Structure 1
Amino acid sequence: MKRIVIKVGSHVLTENGAIAKTRMLALVELISELKIEQYEVILVSSGAVSAGYTQLPLDRSIVANKQALAAIGQPYLLKMYQEKFERFGLLCSQVLLSADVFEAPKHIAHAKVAIDTLLNNNVVPIINENDTVSIEELVFGDNDRLSAHVAHYFDASLLVILSDIDAFYDKDPNKFKDAKRRAVVNIIDDNELNAEHTPNNEFATGGIVTKLQSADFLMKHGRAMFLASGFNLSNVKSFLIDGEHKGGTLFTA
C-alpha cells in the first residue's frame, strides 16, 4: 500500500465561525475512496481552536484562551470526525503530538509503532499538535510543518495539503490577475522560504510560506508534496485516484 498524509487547514474546516460540516464530510468521503484504492491515509487536521470557539467564544488573541479553546475543541472535533467516518464503516483515532516527539529517535519510533498499528487495523489516525501545551503551534504553523514531519518520520511517500490556497503561483493571484500556476516545482528559492507569512483566515496561523517550508523539508528528504484546494476536491481526486495532474502544485525533487 502507498502511505500518504493529508493535511487540512483551519480555513477549509471553518465557515462563518463554525465547523464546515459539508467540507468535512467531503474530506472523509475522499479518504474512504482512497482507502478503497489501497492507500494508507494519515490525516493531520487543524480546527481544534475553531471548534472550541463554537462552544465558548473566548478572545483568541490571548494564548491562554487559545489553549483552552483547543482543549474544548479537540474532543468536539473528533466526535464530528467519528460520526462522519462511521457513515463509511471506518474507525478513526486521535493522536496528539508535540514537537519534541521528533527530536529523539526513541520517541519517533514509539509514535511510529502506534501509527503503524492503527493503519494495519484499518483505522484512520487523526493527528494534531497538542495545542493545549504547545504554545508555538498556536501562533505559527497551522500544522503545515507538523504534517511534513509526520510524512517524513512515519514513512509516507506524499504529503497532500488541502488549503484555501489551491496551488503555488509565480506571483500572488489575489493581487495579480496574470498570476500563473506552477504545476510542478523542483526547487524553492530562499527568498520564497523566508517571505512574510500571509494567513488568510482568523483561525489560520500559516500561509503559503509555511507550505513552501514544508515542501522544501520533504524534497530535501526525498519525498513529495501536493498542494491543492480543500474547497473543491476534484483536483486532488484526479491526481491521486485517476493519475491526472489537472490542478494544484506538485513539489518533488
Structure 2
Amino acid sequence: MRPMTNHAINRQSVLASLKRVVVKVGSAVITTGDGLDSTAINRLADQLCGLRDRSVDVILVSSGAVAAGRQRIFERTRQTQNPADMASRQAASAVGQGRLMHDYDEAFARHGVVTAQMLLTRSGLKDRERFLNARTTMERLLEWGVIPIVNENDTVSTRELEFGDNDTLGAMCVGLTGADLFVSLTSADGVFDRNPDSSPDAKPMPTIDNICDLDIESLCDGKTSVGTGGMYSKLRAARRASQLGVPTFIVSGKGDFDILAALESKTRGTLILPRKNAVSSKKFWLAYHDDPAGSIRVDKGAAGALLRKGKSLLPIGIAGVDGCFERGALVFIRTLEGEELGVGISNFSADELCRIKGRHTDELAAILGPIPSDEAIHRDNMLLDAAI
C-alpha cells in the first residue's frame, strides 16, 4: 500500500485499503494463571481467519511461550522459575513453544488454515542477506495461504542480541513483510492520556496524530505481570512503524473482541497515524537491527545541516567520539549537549574519527592514507529521530 498523508487516514480508509497486516498478541491476552487460554486462542484464530476471508495477508507475532512453559513445568515439578533469570526463561520457552504452536495449529485447523512457526533472532536479521532470506520465506508462506506465527527464538538469544519484547519484534516484522497495518492486541483498550492504573480519571485517546510529539515516559510506568512489554514498548513499536508510513492500532484483545468491529468503531482502541514522510525499508533495517556501538557528537553547524538540509555527516562537523567501534558500526549521532539526533552507519572506526574530527575533507588522506569515503556517515545510511 502506498502510504497516505495523515489527513487522508482514518479507520475506514485503513480497512478499505488493507492488504497485509501484522498482528501482535501479548501474553496477557492468551494466557491465564493456569497457562495458555484455549478459548482466547480459538477466538483469535476466528478473528484472523475473518481477515483472511477479506483477502488480507496475516502475520501473527505471538507471545505466550515462556508463560506456557513455566506453567507446564510447575504442573509437573511444582518448581517455580525466576523470571529475571535468562537461562530459566529460555528453558521455559523451549517447553512452551511446542504447546503454543500445538494450540494454534488446532485453532486454525478448524478453518482449514495451515500455520507455520518462524523463530527469529536479532542476530539473524542483523545480516542483510539473512534478513532478505527471511523475507523471501515469509512471502512464499503467504503465497501458499499459510499464516506465519512469529516469535523470538528465546532459547538461543543472548541479552545483547535479543529484540527485548515482541512489540519490538512486531514492528520489525512490519518492515520485514511490507505490511500496511500493525495491530497490537493487549490487555488495555487503547492508549490513555495518563496511566489508568494510577489515574482512574484517565481519558482514552482514539487517535494519535503525531506520536513523535507524545511524551511516552509520562504515559507509561507499568508492565503487565506475565509479559515483558507494557504500553511503553507498544508505543515505541508504533513510533517505529509510523516511520515506515504504517499506522498502528492498539486495542484490547481480552474477552469478546472483534478486530474489524473495533477498527470500524470510533471509540474502541487507539489508531496511531504514520509519519507523512516514510523512510525506506533499508534505512529502517539499518537503524533497528543492531544496537548502537558508540556515539558521534556533532557541532551546531553539522546538526543544522543534518536536520534542515538533508546533508551527510562530514568529519569537519564532528566534535567528539564516544565508545570503541570499527568501520561499519551503527552509532548514535548526538549534539554536544547530548541530544539524540538519530543513528547511522559509520564509515570510520572510533580511533580514525578521533584523528580526523574537525578536519576538512582534503586533509583526510594525509592523516589516514586511503579512505573509504569523504563522509563519516552518508545520508543514505542515516535515520534521524530514531526510536531507540
1:115 aligns with 2:115: no
1:27 aligns with 2:51: no
Preserved CA contact (<8 Å) 1:235 1:248: no
Equivalent residue for 2:270, pick from 218, 239, 249: 249
Give the whole-Å Cα distance in 1 for the aligned partners of 2:100 and 2:222: 25
Q: In structure 2, do the counterparts of structure 1 residues 85 and 137 end up closer, same or farther at CA, with 3 Å as the change threshold?
A: farther
2:140 corresponds to which letter in structure 1? T
1:59 corresponds to? 81
Give the whole-Å Cα distance in 2 for the aligned partners of 1:235 and 1:171: 25
1:147 corresponds to? 170
Give the whole-Å Cα distance in 2 for the aligned partners of 1:137 and 1:12: 27
Instruction: Report the secondary structure of 1:6's partner residue.
Output: strand
% identity of equivalent residues: 34
Preserved CA contact (<8 Å) 2:192 2:203: yes
Runs of 5+ consecutive residues of structure 2 not aligned to the other structure: 1-17, 75-79, 275-388
1:14 corresponds to? 31
Moved more, 226-235 or 150-159: 226-235
Give the whole-Å Cα distance in 1 for the aligned partners of 2:187 and 2:104: 20
Equivalent residue for 1:40, pick from 57, 77, 85: 57
1:91 aligns with 2:114: yes
Give the whole-Å Cα distance in 1 for the aligned partners of 2:186 and 2:71: 21
Which protein has the larger Cα radius of gyration, Structure 1 or Structure 2? 2
- TM-score w.r.t. length of structure 2: 0.61
Runs of 5+ consecutive residues of structure 1 not aligned to the other structure: none
Which deviations, in whole Å up to 9, do the C-alpha atoms of 1:167-201 show, x marking residues without a partner? 11111122223211111112234641587652122
Give the whole-Å Cα distance in 1 for the aligned partners of 2:65 and 2:158: 14
Preserved CA contact (<8 Å) 1:194 1:209: no
1:164 aligns with 2:187: yes
Give the whole-Å Cα distance in 2 for the aligned partners of 1:148 and 1:137: 19
Give the whole-Å Cα distance in 2 for the aligned partners of 1:128 and 1:38: 24
Instruction: Report the secondary structure of 1:238's partner residue.
Output: helix
Which deviations, in whole Å up to 9, do the C-alpha atoms of 1:126-153 show, x marking residues without a partner? 0000011124399984300000010122
Moved more, 123-132 or 224-233: 224-233
2:223 corresponds to? 199
Preserved CA contact (<8 Å) 2:121 2:161: no
Equivalent residue for 2:198, pick from 175, 187, 193: 175
1:234 aligns with 2:257: yes
Equivalent residue for 1:208, pick from 222, 228, 231: 231
Give the whole-Å Cα distance in 1 for the aligned partners of 2:192 and 2:219: 14
Per the TM alignment, residue 228 of structure 1 is displaced from its structure 2 partner at its CA by 0.3
Give the whole-Å Cα distance in 2 for the aligned partners of 1:133 and 1:153: 21
Give the whole-Å Cα distance in 2 for the aligned partners of 1:34 and 1:176: 35
Equivalent residue for 1:127, pick from 150, 161, 183: 150
1:3 aligns with 2:20: yes
Give the whole-Å Cα distance in 1 for the aligned partners of 2:98 and 2:240: 31
Per the TM alignment, residue 77 of structure 1 is displaced from its structure 2 partner at its CA by 0.8
Give the whole-Å Cα distance in 2 for the aligned partners of 1:224 and 1:60: 36
Give the whole-Å Cα distance in 2 for the aligned partners of 1:210 and 1:177: 22
How many residues are treated as equivalent by the alignment?
A: 250
Preserved CA contact (<8 Å) 1:141 1:210: no
Select the structure with the greater relative contact order (CA < 8 A; seq sep ≥ 6).
Answer: 1
Moved more, 179-188 or 5-14: 179-188
Q: In structure 2, do the counterparts of structure 1 residues 122 and 235 end up closer, same or farther at CA, with 3 Å as the change threshold?
A: closer
Preserved CA contact (<8 Å) 1:131 1:137: no
Q: In structure 2, do the counterparts of structure 1 residues 214 and 9 end up closer, same or farther at CA, with 3 Å as the change threshold?
A: same
Per the TM alignment, residue 237 of structure 1 is displaced from its structure 2 partner at its CA by 2.3
Give the whole-Å Cα distance in 2 for the aligned partners of 1:232 and 1:68: 30
Instruction: Report the secondary structure of 2:71's partner residue.
Output: helix
1:248 corresponds to which letter in structure 2? G
